[in-house]
Structure 1
Amino acid sequence: MTRTVGWPARPRSARRTSLWCVAAAAALLLLPAAPATASPAPVRAVCGPADPGAVHCLAQVRTDVHAGLGVRGPNARSTALAELPPGYGPSELRAAYRLPAEGGTGQTIAVVEAGDDPQAEADLAVYRTTFGLPPCTTANGCFRKANQRGDAAPLPPDLGWGVEAALDLDAASALCPSCHLLLVEADQAAGDTLAASVDTAAALGATEISNSYAASESNQNAAFAAHYTHPGVAVVASSGDAGYGIPSVPAAYQSVITAGGTTLTADPGSARGWTESAWEGAGSGCSAWVDKPAWQHDPNCPGRMTSDVSMDADPETGLAVYTTDETGGQAAGWSVVGGTSASSPMLAAVIALAGHPARFPDASRLYTAAAGLTDVATGSNAAGTDCGGDYQCTAVPGYDGPTGNGTPLGLTAF
């Protein structure tokens, strides 16, 4: 079957201050934190440009691909809808990363969003039915939606993150269909409300928490780092979609596993059957405010370097996503969506499949797990910037900023 594919400050240690970092940070912080859209396919950032320091979601939707409403594929009621929707679905993603179809029993993946997605559960049902995944509903105990205080009501207003929420729930479902799903909805797209929602997700029993949003790192962000640390819970965040530059938070926090992004392409002639290169929009950068973790040893960044590992993020090779929420500006139905918003919930799902979230109080395990990762050594995210081809912006053998230590190769590393 053919498929188409603001925050209180903590001073930075003087020993890590350099004139270049200060000048670059000062200059870049004057610019809006707008996601890059350099993929050959026309794409739209779901949350649009953000003011400096503001939190925005990272989903990017292709505007040239749309497949209408309703269940498709073998489970469609009409033979006219027998083709699966465009974009990668569960079978392609499992094949690309050599993941089992089963696993994740007892795991709960939380996705943290800003505002309510009123159609989240109904849209998820269409996605899972289309791809033959088991139902995940409130009635059967698999799906739960809560506000940032952990209550079923009142829910916040719809803030236009519907496509983001659908991407996160669909991506987690694709790789871990047996996992329970928890949607926590923050009152606002702000650092304090999203941090509180992460705490709530952990309190409600999440074993993995995915955060597909970002704000540019600044001297105002350190106060929220503690909210992204929960013993026994793996906290994952997207590296950002603006390419090489100032790192994003929460991705730069030491306790967070940062998901960078690749372009994932079918390659039937290769042994793996797939090839990956660094996606040019994938965020990476050297922190000016977060100390370098003891387990990170890259030579040219004295602070926390992002990212840690990566998965498919290029909207050109994006995921099939279903949503009827049009507040983000996207027509209802099937779309192809990417951004590092996709890599974060997928990585959370891989951790859930392996079933050992307590191994991930931070990303340290992934720096000694080369045998369980596919190294990505081509591509760059340095468009419009000058990092001289350094590993911070260019995929190279071993560790690099755009793709980290590589992409999952089965569950050995997890």
Structure 2
Amino acid sequence: MSDTFAALGLTVLAVDAATRSVKLGGPVNIIEQAFQVKLMQFDGIRGPYRGRVGALHVPAALENDIVGVFGLDNRRVVRRRPDGGRKRHVVDHTAAPAAAKKRPWFFPAELAAAYDFPDGDGSGQTIGLLEFGGGYFEDDLKAFGKAAGLASLPTVVPISVDKMPTDTNDEATGEVMLDVEVLAGLCPQATIPVWFSQFTEKGWVDALDAAMHDATYKPQVLSISWGYAEDVSVWTASAVTQVNEALQEAALMGITICVAAGDDGSSDGINDGNAHVDFPCSSPFVLAVGGTLLRTGAKRSERAWKDGDGLRAGNGGSTGGGVSARIARPAWQSGLDIAPVNPGQLAGRIVPDVSANASANTGYFVVAGGSRRSAAAPAPPRRCGPACSRA
């Protein structure tokens, strides 16, 4: 393979047998000739991006060896919940217990009790996170630990994939710190590597490869709170195939991968009147996690999550879920009599598999912002937040 691409004028930058990948470089015109496409800059609703015109082609001698070609475009294939429209409240941690009982949000330990999590503090466990924006800030975690009454904090290791910054303080930082802090509250003795990658198809592939084959940090669990509608207008067929293969490999390696199911209800943010599900939560090799609205107390109740109109665009939100149009129904779901609502659609993988509290009205306590001025606020876990293996 290396010789074939070198003959086309491309430089072989790296070959990795473990991830079955070859990294190539070269001038734009040579890359265009090698793959028979035209690279161009486009303006999209989420900003400018690099894309291609024309279908990708590979050398005939390699047609049975190449699953996908990634990196020629940098379209966004993840979404995050913007919290700019949500009111943030600084909460008083010294409030009397009676007042504390009236608060609508939870500390992680309270959710662990509500869901009857097994005892344990995560000792000896490595729980990985994949993030596609934002940054990790140690001061925020320390402030959270103090407010939550934690006697210890986990070892958090931010790791850059493809030179992605690990300390960007943008609107995704709340998502990152939410993931970290929920894990800290549940597993304060765990090691938490956080792989930061680009929000592109290549970023997904590289992040999964990096996490699964890290020689130092070998996670038993990976938590992914990001995704996008599985439609062909978002995910290419080669990306779905490659990500699915990576997730299958992780399952064979004994890594449990928890992926959130979405927070725009059955539309998944695609406003065409049809139902849609998120990817990669629709992969059969992950545990897909949906959302609920949980109320505890004398009269505990729990129902499917829906805030406002159910859409993030309207400052609401609701649990994702439904029947996949791209991923075949696995054998272990063959007995479920759940049909797609879209006419003529494949009766594919059903999601979610499990659900937990996700509503903004019964959110999680989070400290985020990357500074000592950070506001501590109840926040909804984007797509249900992380899951934790407790030992």
TM class by shorter-chain length?
Answer: 0.5 to 0.7
Secondary structure of 2:175's match?
helix
SS in 1 for 2:326: strand
More relative contact order, 1 or 2 (CA 8 Å, 6+ apart): 1
- The amino acid across from 1:316 in the alignment is N
Q: Give the AA of the match of 2:326.
A: W
TM normalised by structure 2 equals 0.63
Aligned mates of 2:180, 2:120 — CA distance in 1: 17
Match of 2:109 in 1: 91
1:103 shift after superposition: 3.7
Query: Could you say what secondary structure the match of 1:195 adopts?
Result: helix
Aligned to 1:212: 225
Match status 1:282 vs 2:319? yes
Deviation of 1:182 (Å): 1.5
- 2:289 and 2:375 map into 1 onto residues whose CA distance is 27
One-letter identity of the residue aligned with 1:198? L
Partner residue in 1 for 2:336: 298
2:130 corresponds to which residue? 112
Instruction: Give CA-to-partner distance per residue, 1:163-205, whole Å, 9 cap, x none.
Output: 000110111122222222111111x222321332232223231
- Distance change in 2, residues 1:304/1:116 (3 Å): same
Quick one: which of 268, 277, 302 aligns to 2:298? 268
CA contact (8 A) 1:102 1:177 kept: no
Report the 3-state secondary structure (helix = DSSP H, G, I; strand = E; otherwise coil) of the residue aligned with 2:257. strand
Q: TM-score, normalised by structure 1?
A: 0.60
Q: Specify every segment of 5 or more residues in structure 2 that has no aligned partner in the other structure, as ranges.
A: 1-44, 47-74, 267-274, 307-317, 341-346
The equivalent of 2:159 in structure 1 is 146
Which of 235, 240, 247 is equivalent to 2:277?
247
Tell me if the contact between 2:90 and 2:375 (Cα under 8 Å) persists in the aligned partners: yes
Query: For residues 53 and 145 of structure 1, do their structure 2 counterparts lie closer, same or farther at Cα, with a shift above 3 Å needed?
Result: closer
Q: 2:301 is aligned with what amino acid?
A: T
Q: Distance in 1 between matches of 2:361 and 2:301?
A: 14
Which residue identity lines up with residue 226 of structure 1 in the other structure?
E
3-state secondary structure, aligned to 1:64: coil
Q: Structure 1 pair 158/321, CA: closer, same or farther in 2 (3 Å)?
A: closer
Q: Distance in 2 between matches of 1:61 and 1:154?
A: 22
Residues 210 and 190 from structure 1, CA distance in 2 versus in 1: closer, same or farther, beyond 3 angstroms? same
Q: Deviation string for 1:194-232 (max 9, x for gaps)? A: 332232223231111111111110232413222323111
Residue in 2 that maps onto 1:134: 151
Alignment match, 1:344: 385
Distance 1:103 1:310, change over 3 A: same
- Whole-Å separation in 2 of the counterparts to 1:91 and 1:259: 19
CA contact 2:134–2:175 (8 Å) conserved in 1: no
Q: Following TM superposition, by how much is the alpha carbon of 1:116 offset from its aligned partner in structure 2, in angstroms? A: 4.7
- Amino acid aligned to 1:290: I
1:333 aligns with 2:341: no
Larger radius of gyration: 2
The CA distance in 2 between the partners of 1:209 and 1:239, in whole Å, is 15
Residues 62-117 of structure 1 deviation map (CA, whole Å, 9 limit, x = unaligned) = 8234107xxx636x9xx9xx979872113321221122452422111111112351
Separation in structure 1 between the aligned mates of residue 121 and residue 166 of structure 2, nearest angstrom: 31
Q: Does the Cα contact within 8 Å between 2:104 and 2:361 map onto a contact in 1? A: no
1:238 to 1:205, Cα distance in 2 relative to 1, 3 A: same
Count of residues in correspondence between the two structures: 278
Structure 1 unpaired stretches of 5+: 1-31, 34-51, 356-414
User: How far apart are the structure 1 equivalents of 2:85 and 2:119?
Assistant: 28
- Aligned to 2:254, what secondary structure does the other structure show? coil
SS in 2 for 1:167: helix
Q: Does 1:57 find its partner at 2:80?
A: yes
What fraction of aligned residue pairs are identical, expressed as a percent? 25
Q: Secondary structure at the match of 1:259?
A: strand
Change in Cα spacing, 1:267 to 1:155, as seen in structure 2 (3 Å) is closer
CA distance in 2, matches of 1:246, 1:194: 20
Deviation at 1:158, TM superposition (A): 5.0
Residue of structure 1 equivalent to 2:141:
124
CA 1:283–1:256: 2 relative to 1, 3 Å: same
Moved more, 239-248 or 195-204: 195-204
Query: Do structure 1's residue 67 and structure 2's residue 97 form an aligned pair?
Result: no
Query: Aligned equivalents of 1:132 and 1:262: distance in 2?
Result: 26
SS of 1:189 mapped into structure 2: coil
Q: Is the 8 A contact 2:230 2:276 kept in 1?
A: yes
Does structure 1 conserve the Cα–Cα contact (< 8 Å) formed by 2:293 and 2:302? Answer: yes
Where 1:213 maps in the other structure, the secondary structure is coil
SS in 2 for 1:143: strand
Change (3 A) 1:278 1:340: farther
Report the CA distance between 1:59 and its aligned residue.
6.8
CA deviation after TM superposition for structure 1 residue 135, in Å: 3.3
